[in-house]
A = this chain, B = another copy of it.
Amino acid sequence: MGISERKERQRKEVRESILSSAWELVNQDGWLNLSIRKIADAIEYSVPVVYDHFENKEAILSEFNRRGFQLMTENLAEAKARQTNHKQQLEDVAVAYWDFAFQNKEYYQLMFGLGMPTCESLTKVPELSAFISVISTTINQIAGLPQDSTEIWLKIHSFWSMIHGLVSINLVAPPVSHLNMNPDEFNKAILKDFIKSFIKGLET
């Protein structure tokens, strides 16, 4: 009897419709205006049904958070795989990070910009380690530093900080009026400068 299978399937359909409706709402009104009630309205079910699929609102955000890290890591890994030269890989990974942030602002804001992610909340994202290992393996190959050493963590931290700073400052305060240059070129120029000097630092 395929009854329970069908039920299972229908459950997953509702779950997915919650997520896709939520995603639509977020793209319309932003994370701050997302509400369980609006989601319930959009999926044409009553509010408590949402709670049959997610423990609470935070669990929904957390799902998107994980998807964000997953998608970003995929993008980074792809960019890396397109190259063989290690330095070039690192450069392309940085650019891919940048591109991800600006092509997926909603994701990026949820991942880094939203309500005070505590230390723990981030360490509870399993996808985080996959993301970090994309970077760390490359750095390892360039600089020959052993995994899990203090030195390589320092480098990973630097690299990540550098790009994140660039991204978030530009998400929040993009340089506009002061330029006789395309802002996009402007920013990518900074990014590439950064990476160049970072790689130089790896080699010394």
Contacts and interface: CB of A to CB of B under 8 A. Distances in A.
Which A-B residue pairs are the 7 nearest by beta carbons?
A165-B165, A161-B165, A161-B166, A164-B165, A161-B169, A153-B178, A122-B173
Q: Range of interface residues on chain A? A: 35 or more
Contacts of A180: 150
A174 B153 CA distance: 11
A197 interface: yes
A3 interface: no
Contact of A174 (B119, B165, B174): B119
A172 interface: yes
Contacts of A109: 116
A125 to B, nearest CB: 10
A126 to B, nearest CB: 14
Interface string A124-147: 000010000000000000000000
Interface string A151-177: 001100110111111111110111110
A173 B184 CA distance: 28
A48 interface: no
A158 B113 contact: no
